[in-house]
């Protein structure tokens, strides 16, 4: 098996239109107004090169996938420990008016959710209906079921010789095999993790939808090179299981990029550090705020702990259906503010990681 990490070239347009395969494949909407106005009459304008995602081949042969499947016994999963909580660099890039302006200049892109049978969920079916207020939560168990109870799951992997856990979520994708998580959930300390699997719908040790082995891992070059907390984003492509692709079994949440900040959001994950134990899905809900300290991330009032890293943040989450549009992931906390959780802004760099993964074949 080839053990390489390489850069994946990708282009995106910053004003005219977005060169995103999923725009055609999944009915993505591009709500930005280019030179031709909302109707896109101005056509494509000059494109710029996006920093290229880094790809790492994982278990990309059937034999390796069987080995990884056998490795993850129930006992090993229960014994896996969450990674230590990340803390941003004191001299890290902070949120500035220039950074906000640059984010606002990119065209918003939103890709709808898909059902297990491959159908597209219209936006009206994802957004919360009625006038009832969203239930605020800073870390309660999710007990309402719905699509989120299938698409979100635990991630298990080996990091520096020990077994560890994170969280992740299945999303709409061309290959029907893509999950989104945090960068440190695929690579940390100068190396990619091994024995990487995704267990959607994990609950008290049960694996109702099986264990899905990663064939390819992707992250941003900023995280790969310097572990820049502002780009703590990753995707994984998982192999088919029993002849079926991941989202054919569990469905896929929508995903969006270059959206407005400070929106109402829901976050989910499997926190495994005290007072949690990783056995159940937990959620937080509230209005996001900007990190004014040491990063360009967005924050939520949330007490989730280690193990929730990589869990999805949603815009327009419908608590009745469990559907939403993924727009960030659990990333880090400050030692002195355990009630805050932060996640990276999903701009063009996160979009590039998603695009590279969702157009990669799964085998």
Q: Is residue 163 part of a domain?
A: yes
Domain CATH number, residue 32: 2.40.10.120
Task: State which residues form the domain around 77.
Answer: 5-358
The reply to whether 25 falls in a domain is yes
363 within some domain? no
H or E element, residue 358: helix 348-358
Per-residue model confidence (pLDDT) at position 362: 80
Per-residue pLDDT tens digits for 118-175: 888 876 455 544 334 567 899 999 999 999 999 999 999 999 999 999 999 999 999 9
Whether residue 350 lies inside any domain: the answer is yes
In this structure, are residues 350 and 357 in contact, taking their beta carbons and an 8 Å threshold? no
- 30-to-21, 41, 150, 350 alpha-carbon distances in Å: 12, 13, 27, 16
pTM of the model: 0.83
Rounded Cα distance between 257 and 253, Å, is: 14
What string of H, E and C letters represents the secondary structure of 310-339?
CCEEEEEEECCCCEEEEEEECCEEECCEEE
348: left (phi over 0), alpha (psi -120 to 50) or beta: alpha
Show the low-confidence residues of the chain (pLDDT under 70): 1-49, 85-106, 123-134
Domain count, the chain: 1
């Amino acid at each position: 098996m080839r053990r390489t990490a390489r850069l994946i070239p990708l282009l995106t347009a910053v004003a005219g239109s977005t060169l995103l395969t999923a725009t055609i494949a999944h009915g993505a909407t591009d709500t930005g107004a280019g030179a031709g106005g909302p109707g896109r009459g101005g056509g494509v304008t000059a494109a710029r090169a996006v920093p290229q995602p880094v790809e790492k081949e994982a278990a990309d042969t059937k034999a390796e996938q069987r080995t990884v499947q056998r490795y993850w016994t129930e006992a090993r999963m229960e014994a896996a420990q969450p990674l230590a909580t990340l803390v941003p660099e004191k001299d890290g890039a902070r949120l500035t008016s220039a950074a906000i302006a640059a984010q606002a200049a990119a065209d918003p892109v939103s890709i709808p959710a898909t059902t297990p049978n491959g159908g597209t969920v219209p936006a009206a079916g994802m957004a919360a209906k009625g006038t009832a207020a969203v239930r605020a939560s800073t870390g309660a168990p999710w007990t309402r079921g719905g699509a989120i109870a299938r698409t979100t799951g635990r991630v298990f992997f080996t990091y520096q010789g020990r077994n560890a856990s994170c969280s992740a979520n299945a999303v709409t994708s061309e290959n029907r095999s893509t999950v989104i998580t945090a960068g440190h959930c695929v690579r940390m300390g100068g190396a990619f993790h091994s024995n990487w699997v995704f267990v959607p719908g994990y609950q008290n040790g049960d694996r109702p939808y099986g264990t899905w082995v990663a064939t390819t891992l992707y992250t941003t070059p900023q995280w790969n090179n310097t572990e820049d907390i502002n780009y703590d984003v990753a995707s994984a492509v998982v192999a088919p299981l029993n002849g079926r692709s991941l989202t054919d079994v569990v469905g896929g949440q929508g995903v969006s990029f270059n959206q407005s900040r400070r929106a109402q959001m829901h976050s989910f994950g499997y926190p495994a550090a005290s007072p949690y134990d990783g056995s159940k899905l937990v959620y937080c809900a509230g209005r996001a705020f900007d990190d004014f300290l040491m990063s360009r991330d967005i924050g939520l009032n949330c007490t989730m702990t280690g193990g929730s890293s990589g869990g999805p943040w949603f815009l327009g989450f419908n608590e009745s259906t469990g559907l939403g549009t993924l727009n960030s992931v659990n990333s880090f906390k400050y030692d002195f503010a355990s009630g805050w959780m932060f996640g990276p802004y999903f701009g063009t760099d996160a979009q590039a990681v998603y695009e590279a993964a969702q157009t990669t074949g799964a085998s």
